[in-house]
Amino acid sequence: MYLQDYIWFACALLVCALLAGFASSKVHSTFSRYDKVANRSGMTGYDTAIRLMRANDVQGIHVGRVSGTLSDHYDPKKGVVNLSQSTYGNASVAAVAVAAHEMGHVMQKQRGYVFYKIRTALVPVVNFGSRLALPLVLLGLIIDIITATATSSVGFYIALVGVVLYGGSFLFTLITLPVELNASRRAKKMLAAEGILGDDELQGASKVLSAAAMTYVAAMLTSLIYFLRFFVYVLTMFGRRNSK
């Protein structure tokens, strides 16, 4: 039965890996396609970020430049929208779409978007939990072995805490999905409202953002598979101990 479970896990993980590979390839190919299409407004990624900040009365946020391609991100602690080299000075449909997406995150923070607040609150929890999860499971197994003759359940509960902490990583990826989708919706609305992209150009921008969303779906599914595997492993180990 254990071998059969492992085979199912390996197959599920393979499917997730293929989906992640496809999603990554789709993002780069779609971005590359619309990176060659200059937008009619002539606005660069930097121009777009500044324009959207002014239009939405955003204060205290700066636009920075980072190396790499598609390494764009919003750093709420430093108050900086970091645009990659492929976005910052580029006046393509793809560059404008990516810059607007990052501004979507800024607006989420400004407007107090619930899922954004939850994801932000989960960051320290996930960082803390990911470091303690495995040690707690191992500690639980050791305690279970030592106290087996006393029929104690302490080890099991300690290990279960480790599993719950590990589950925080899955919860984070689950919450990230609606956050990213909402940021893309905000981006398209802002681009249309400010006339930065025309209707036909917005279709291209939508394809770029939709392709990026696939990567988050793949990450969520992969995280779920690992969590379930970890959970089943703990139940199996303690089940075998208790059956002896």
Q: Which H/E stretch holds residue 75?
A: strand 73-75
What's the pLDDT score for residue 144?
Answer: 55
Query: What average pLDDT does the structure give for the chain?
Result: 85
Lowest mean pLDDT among 32-41, 49-58, 107-116, 161-170: 161-170
- The answer to whether residues 74 and 102 touch, using CB atoms and an 8 Å cutoff, is yes
Selection from 15-29, 76-90, 121-135 with the highest mean pLDDT: 76-90
Q: Regarding predicted confidence, which is higher, 236 or 70?
A: 70
Asked whether the predicted pLDDT for residue 170 surpasses 80, the reply is yes
102 is catalytic: yes
| 181-202 pLDDT, tens digit each | 999 999 999 999 999 999 999 9
Q: Which residue has the higher pLDDT, 184 or 138?
A: 184
The predicted structure's pLDDT at residue 12: 82
Residue 27 pLDDT: 92
Return the DSSP state at 68: S
73 forms bridges with which residues in the sheet? 82
pTM of the model: 0.83
Predicted pLDDT at 163: 76
How do residues 93-133 score in pLDDT, each as one tens digit? 999 999 999 999 999 999 999 999 999 998 887 776 566 55
Count CB-CB contacts under 10 A for residue 148. Answer: 13
Residue range 17-34: average pLDDT? 92
12-16, 69-73, 143-147, 230-234: lowest mean pLDDT where? 143-147
More confident residue, 82 or 151: 82
Q: What is the mean pLDDT of residues 140-147?
A: 58
- Residue spans of the domains in the chain: they are 2-243
**147 pLDDT exceeds 80?**
no
For residue 200, CA distances in Å to 104, 162, 188, 204, 210 come to: 21, 50, 12, 7, 16
More confident residue, 162 or 55: 55
pLDDT tens for residues 207-231? 999 999 999 999 898 888 888 877 8
Residues 6+ positions from 222 with CB-CB distance below 8 Å: 13, 16, 17, 20
pLDDT of residue 150: 47
More confident site: 173 or 152: 173
pLDDT of residue 143: 58
pLDDT band at 161 (very low <50, low <70, confident <90, very high): confident
